[in-house]
Structure 1
Amino acid sequence: MAIITFMSDFGTTDHYVAAVKARILSTLPSQLIVDISHQIQHFNIAHGSFVLGNVFREFPPGTIHLIAVHATGGLGEPYIAIKLEGHYFIGTDNGLLGLISEQEPEEIVILGKTEAEKALARLTTFPARDLMAPAAALLAQGAPLSALGEPTPYFNRMLPRKPRLSRQLIAGHVIHIDHFGNLVTNVRKDEFEQLVSDKFLIKLGREQITKIHKTYNLVDAGDLFAVFNSLGLLEIGIHSGHAGELLGMEYDSAILVHIPATDEEAGALMGIRQRGIRRTL
């Protein structure tokens, strides 16, 4: 039997998560349900797509992912199921599922096969329990995606923000702030290494960094560090501190990597660094 994962912005203080699981388990008492997270920021599809997009491939092909982030969606947004990269995803067509992969889905359906199911989709205030959970249970029992609803060629596809690259500058952004306050950026290691040969200056707000560290603990407590994390993305943090709060950075804040073309430019960049104000944390 396929694994079902569950991710939501429901939190853990209400009954919502348990109610969705109960609907699945009432049909499949031995079903394995793996929680990805229920602390996704309310209605934040960027946060949800980052978490889901960086973990779903760790599960076996055929895994069913139930996604209830901004689950009631906007006006006219249907509830859908898609097959993508060999995995199944059930959620609201609010743009989240369109951000988790650059590949095209193999199949897309709008949930609701019968007239009663279509009416429920229009009226329910709890789609994760009433529509998505039964759909996940059907897939877990081996039903094809076509058994869940009518096929459609379209779904809400958004383009993720990508860094601007030149020989002298990588202009990136913060795309996630994790539980530790570290700033995950969209600056990729392979692109960085193609453009940067030796000297560089990373600027974020009033702070500068001139070194990439191998791990998180190679600086003293209170000092800035920059690493390429397990996702191959540039991550900036403060050892034993919350970089987002202490540096005043947030989602979409700019991260600039200056690449000097000459030794003179490199010296000028180092001069900027020396004149910079170092925070006491």
Structure 2
Amino acid sequence: MATGRLCPPIITLLTDFGLQDVYVGVMKGVILGINPNVRLVDLTHNVPPHDIAAGAFLLRSAWQFFPPGAIHLAVVDPGVGSDRRALAIFCRDHYFVGPDNGLFSLIFSGESAAAIVSLEKAEFFLPKVSATFHGRDIMAPTAAYISLGTPLTALGPSLTDPVALNLPAPRLEERRLLGEIIYGDRFGNLISNILFADLQIWRQGQPIGLTVNGHPIPHLVRTYHEVPSGTLLALEGSHGYLEIACRLGSAAQALHTGPGGQVVATLASSVERRPHAP
């Protein structure tokens, strides 16, 4: 199996730990104690606490921008200390390490993992494993050992049944496409579960009406600056999903909604309002 090893290797980190406490720094210390030559890249440590779906979305939005062979350590782990497994994965020429709770589901979408193992070999853990901090004691050292060239087969037995995240999927209902908000960023932009490419295929060039929780979104545009300040709009976000935004404002505040909010696209022949289409 080709590994695409990097020299020096890269380990990215994504967690819900925040930066107030020492958790992130300690994980980095563990990694550097095993491989002082590794390059560490923070994706984010502001995943909403315990929000596996948000962590999965953010990881999906970031991992592919790193070179093959990069190792992605992701820890959003509300089940820490339970019987949930910890995983190391080689998929799409990248490595992933973290809890088996669906955090990597969007990486596997459309492609089976090349290799998945359950982390069960104590020689690759810290000598004392806490029941509350597997990110430090199991996952960080595992990522470090992978960066040194340790094969996945040495880390534990193979498995074929990783936990799949039960994310909502868009659905068709007559002449409407129904979706929902799955993530809100710090700008108040609301990201839906509707891939923009799928929206374009469905509409076949026809104008559409858009609503969020019944509130009209009057403009479907290509860039934010196409509408006046304070105006609600929809566009294709950098992540490839349909995004609801407010020019120089917060769509989340304007619409009083967040993850779980209902997004409805309706073909123009069924509605009176016809937003501009990019």
Same fold, TM exceeding 0.5? yes
Instruction: Tell me, yes or no, if structure 1 residue 259 matches structure 2 residue 267.
Output: yes
Please show how residues 115-134 of structure 1 align to structure 2 within 5 Å.
123-134=130-141
Q: Which amino acid aligns with 2:47?
A: I
The 8 Å contact of residues 175 and 252 in structure 1, kept in 2 or not, is answered as yes
The 8 Å contact of residues 77 and 94 in structure 1, kept in 2 or not, is answered as yes
Whole-Å Cα distance in 2 between the matches of residues 75 and 144 of structure 1? 26
Q: Which amino acid aligns with 1:205?
A: N
The 8 Å contact of residues 176 and 264 in structure 2, kept in 1 or not, is answered as yes
Structure 1 SS opposite 2:273: helix
1:211 maps to which residue? 219
Superposed CA deviations along residues 10-39 of structure 1, whole A, max 9, x for unmatched, are 100111111000011112222101111001
1:170 maps to which residue? 177
Structure 2: give runs of 5+ residues left out of the alignment: 1-6
In the TM superposition, residue 6 of structure 1 has moved relative to its aligned partner by 0.8
Instruction: Tell me, yes or no, if structure 1 residue 220 matches structure 2 residue 228.
Output: yes
Instruction: Tell me, yes or no, if structure 1 residue 64 matches structure 2 residue 95.
Output: no
Please show how residues 121-270 of structure 1 align to structure 2 within 5 Å.
123-165=130-172, 168-196=175-203, 197-261=205-269, 265-266=270-271, 269-270=272-273
Over 3 Å counting, the alpha-carbon distance change for 1:218 and 1:191 in structure 2 is same
In the TM superposition, residue 252 of structure 1 has moved relative to its aligned partner by 1.7
1:31 to 16, 21, 38: 38
Whole-Å Cα distance in 2 between the matches of residues 74 and 58 of structure 1? 32
Root-mean-square deviation (CA), in Å? 2.3
Over 3 Å counting, the alpha-carbon distance change for 1:115 and 1:188 in structure 2 is closer
2:4 maps to which residue? none
Over 3 Å counting, the alpha-carbon distance change for 1:73 and 1:124 in structure 2 is closer
Structure 1: give runs of 5+ residues left out of the alignment: 274-281
Whole-Å Cα distance in 1 between the matches of residues 210 and 153 of structure 2? 49
TM-score (norm 1): 0.87
User: After TM superposition, what 4+ stretches of structure 1 lie above 6 angstroms from structure 2?
Assistant: none
In the TM superposition, residue 74 of structure 1 has moved relative to its aligned partner by 6.8
The 8 Å contact of residues 63 and 87 in structure 1, kept in 2 or not, is answered as yes
Number of aligned residue pairs: give it: 266
Whole-Å Cα distance in 2 between the matches of residues 114 and 92 of structure 1? 16
Superposed CA deviations along residues 176-233 of structure 1, whole A, max 9, x for unmatched, are 1111001111222222222323332101134213431120112112111111122322
The 8 Å contact of residues 210 and 216 in structure 2, kept in 1 or not, is answered as yes
The 8 Å contact of residues 49 and 99 in structure 1, kept in 2 or not, is answered as yes
Whole-Å Cα distance in 1 between the matches of residues 101 and 261 of structure 2? 24
In the TM superposition, residue 249 of structure 1 has moved relative to its aligned partner by 1.3
Identity across the alignment (%): 33
Structure 1 SS opposite 2:264: strand
The 8 Å contact of residues 74 and 94 in structure 1, kept in 2 or not, is answered as no
Q: Which amino acid aligns with 2:72?
A: H
TM-score (norm 2): 0.88
The 8 Å contact of residues 80 and 91 in structure 1, kept in 2 or not, is answered as yes
Superposed CA deviations along residues 224-257 of structure 1, whole A, max 9, x for unmatched, are 1111122322111111221112211110211001
